[in-house]
Amino acid sequence: MLNNQQLAAFINEQKINAEIVLLTVNTPTVPAAAAALGIHTDQIVKSLLFLLDGKPLLVITNGTARTDYKKLADYVGVSRRRIKLATAVQVQGLSGFMVGTVPPFGHLRPFRTVVETAVYDQSVIYGGGGEIHALLQLTTSELKRVVGMETAVLQKL
């Protein structure tokens, strides 16, 4: 299983302008992470792993926003039935990280990544840092540079 030290090594190797922030409290939820940092929940990003016909698709969204599966299916051009949220076991097996700690990059292998457009309303964001007491801090411009330009409106209204 990967942790914040392997994520830090990946950041250094890839010359990514990001920082691992270690906290003195666990942050298993978006509200807990935001409270620990004294920031708005929209500055916390979630990395959600979906399976599209069994192939991984990473969706990065912010705060407590929920992803609309129908919008995601429409975006990737398939029926809603062909998209499933990965189980905790699948997430760990595919990404190397436990659910709740998954960063937007640095996984066992790269994934196609779609970023919810609302994430880019923020300038600085925090995502999974590889462990329950760690968060990854970076700018949204750096996120875009690292994960690519693919964006879509995927939030439930």
Q: What does the pLDDT look like over 76-95, one tens digit per residue?
A: 999 999 999 999 999 999 99
pTM: 0.95
Q: How much is the pLDDT for 45?
A: 96
Q: What are the residue boundaries of the structural domains of the chain, listed by start?
A: 4-152
pLDDT band at 32 (very low <50, low <70, confident <90, very high): confident
Q: How much is the pLDDT for 64?
A: 87
Three-state secondary structure call for residue 22: strand
Per the listing, tokens 């929920």 go with 66
As a dihedral over the C-alpha atoms of residue 44, residue 73, residue 99, residue 141, rounded to 10 degrees, the angle is -30
CA nearest 115: which of 52, 70, 72, 78?
72
CATH class of 4-152: alpha beta
Average pLDDT over residues 2-8: 95
Write the DSSP symbol of residue 86: P
Helices and strands: H and E segment counts in the chain: 5, 8
Q: How much is the pLDDT for 157?
A: 78
- Phi, then psi, of 127 in degrees rounded to 5: -130, -175
